[in-house]
Structure formats: C-alpha cells, structure tokens
Amino acid sequence: MAHDGVSRRGPHRRLGAELPVTVLGGGGAHHLRSGQGLRRRGGSSRFVPRDKLAVLGLSEREATEFITFWGPRIAERGRALVTFATDEYARKAVYRFTTPSSGAEIVPEAFIRVYIVVGDVPQVSVPEQKLVPAPVRTGFTAVEWGGTER
C-alpha cells in the first residue's frame, strides 16, 4: 500500500482504479445511542482528536477529510458530545462491492469504519469512550467514515 492510504493492490486493481469514493447518504441513523463519548467545546481547535481517528484506522489524509467535514459542524454547536458509534452503525449498514463489468463480488480484506453521533452534552456526567483499534490494512481495504447530528 502506498503511504497515502490508497491500496493499489488486490482484486480492484483489474479495474484500473484506486477507488477513492465519496458516497453521500442520509437519514436512518437516529436510533444510535450517545451515552458516552468526548465532550467538545466549539472554541477548541481539536473537535475530534487526530490520535482517536488514528486508533480507529484513518490515515492522515482520511483524518484531515473527516475533520474538515465534521469540525465546522461541531464548532457551530458551541458544545457537543461526540460518540463513536461505529459498531452499532456497522450492524445496520451492510454493503456489497462488485465489479462494474461483471457484477462479481469483491470482498475487502479489511473494512475500516468510523461513524460518529454528534449531540448535545447531557447534564449528567458522561464517561469517556474506550475505542477499539481498527483492523490492520491489508490488500484491498475499504474505508468509510460518516456520522449524524442530533
């Protein structure tokens, strides 16, 4: 894998692409819980700490894209509770990767997902969330990040 986080080996190579894909979707994630997480203040320059995103498996470039997208949304709130709900989201969102020409299924060797729920800070104390490290990137790796606001 190149140092920029893009896999250039694996079954997708036959497609002649590195597969950087942006998918915009919406709705359907309001059922996710946010009982623990990271408290953030809008004046902070570290809305989502890079070290947390690294633990979850995002490359520097992916973390920058994540922060560029989510940072302003969190800052607008003034104060926010950021909960990583990746496992809960992954149980609901299931994907199938296929080649465009034949429709043959391509199974990623690693699937890295980061999904956040951004909500109001509750009045009661909230425990800081313990994060589970991402799988090691090998071969064809799919990376997805996203979130929802409450």
Q: Residue 95: what are its φ and ψ, rounded to 5°?
A: -120, 160
Per the domain annotation, does 2 fall within a domain? no
Per the domain annotation, does 47 fall within a domain? yes
Residue 75 near residue 23, CB atoms below 8 Å: no
Range of the domain at 99: 11-22+33-149
Per the domain annotation, does 104 fall within a domain? yes
> Which tens digit of pLDDT belongs to each residue from 95-130?
788 888 888 888 889 889 898 888 888 888 878 888
**Total domains present in the chain:** 1
pTM of the model as a whole? 0.71
- Concatenate the DSSP letters of all residues of 90-108 into one string: HHH----EE-TTT--EE--
> Which tens digit of pLDDT belongs to each residue from 8-33?
444 445 444 455 544 444 455 445 45
